[in-house]
Chain A
Amino acid sequence: GIQVEQSPPDLILQEGANSTLRCNFSDSVNNLQWFHQNPWGQLINLFYIPSGTKQNGRLSATTVATERYSLLYISSSQTTDSGVYFCAVDQSYSGAGSYQLTFGKGTKLSVIP
């Protein structure tokens, strides 16, 4: 099956710093999502971005589908940004089965004041 790799696995930032999280995937995808898992375990949708660039406040994401990677940018980080960031993909167009998401192992972000 498809492999999803995220880097770095852990990241510690001073409040106000910027960061870039990366997601590499091993095959073509129909869908790519970025999630933030907060300390209570809730997965919060950040971006639905199979290709192109999107921005939402201090967060932005870019997916280059032809090169099989996606980047999540966090600017002016805040302590509330702490948590685990997951990238997830599906291959539903390719007849791979269903719409199931395959997740990376996540990047654990800690923002310190």
Chain B
Amino acid sequence: QVQLHQWGAGLLKPSETLSLTCAVSGGSFSGYYWNWVRQPPGKGLEWIGDINHTGYTNYNPSLKSRVTISMDTSKNQFSLNLSSVTAADTAVYYCARGQIGDFDSWGQGLLVTVSS
């Protein structure tokens, strides 16, 4: 049973960089896409981007200029960096495992608040 556990800073000031990491346990890192999804308070889901086991990334064009997703296969971890955050980036951030088309396992979510 794969498990995803995520962590990172929960409170940021405007213009800072959001950094989150997701650790994968109980399953293979290979053969999947590793995703980041966010959900502003009381709103719907937005896909941020993904990375596969070879390091190939895809990003949402709406965030592409500020997003970097990376991975450390030796630790079965992948990370999200989102630069120049504003209040509009306040959201619960989820990591999720997927194959093409759907996400079958999710992290517990982490609320990141951007406030001066």
Chain A partners chain B: no
Chain B interface (Cβ < 8 Å from any Cβ of A):
none
Chain A interface (Cβ < 8 Å from any Cβ of B):
none
